[in-house]
Amino acid sequence: MNIEYIRSFLETARWNSISKASEKLHLTHPALSKQLRAMEAYYGVALFHRSNTGVELTEAGKHLLERLQPLYQELSAIRSEMGQWNQQSIRQLTLGTLPTLASGYMPEKVYAMEAAQLQLDLRVMNTSSELYSRLQAGELDAIVCERLPEGVSSTWEHTLFSEPYVAIVYKEHPFSQRTSVSLAELSKEPFILHTPECRIRQTLTEQMEQSGFGLSVKTEVGFNEFILGYVATGAGITVLPEMAARNLASASLAAVPIADEGMVRVIALTTARTAADKGRLLAAYLKP
Q: What is the pLDDT of residues 106-126, one digit of tens each?
A: 999 999 988 888 888 999 999
pLDDT score recorded for residue 249: 64
Q: Of how many residues is the chain composed?
A: 288
Euclidean distance between CA atoms 227 and 225, whole angstroms: 6
- pTM of the complete model: 0.67
- Provide the pLDDT for residue 87: 46
The answer to whether 253 and 228 are in contact (CB under 8 A) is yes
What residues does CATH 1.10.10.10 cover in the chain?
A: 3-82
Position 4 scores a pLDDT of: 87
Domain 86-161+266-283 fold: D-Maltodextrin-Binding Protein; domain 2 (3.40.190)
Provide the CATH topology of domain 163-264: D-Maltodextrin-Binding Protein; domain 2 (3.40.190)
Q: How far apart are CA 216 and CA 219, in angstroms?
A: 9
CA-to-CA distance for 31 and 47, rounded, in angstroms? 17
At the topology level, CATH places domain 3-82 in Arc Repressor Mutant, subunit A (1.10.10)
Distance CA 15, CA 139 (A): 19
Instruction: Tell me which residues of the chain have a pLDDT lower than 50.
Output: 87
The predicted pLDDT at position 83 comes to 60
Q: Are 48 and 58 a contacting pair, CB within 8 Å?
A: yes
Return residue ranges of the chain for CATH 3.40.190.10.
86-161+266-283, 163-264
Q: Where does the chain have alpha helices with state H? A: 3-15, 18-25, 29-43, 59-83, 99-104, 106-115, 128-136, 183-186, 199-210, 227-232, 242-246, 276-283
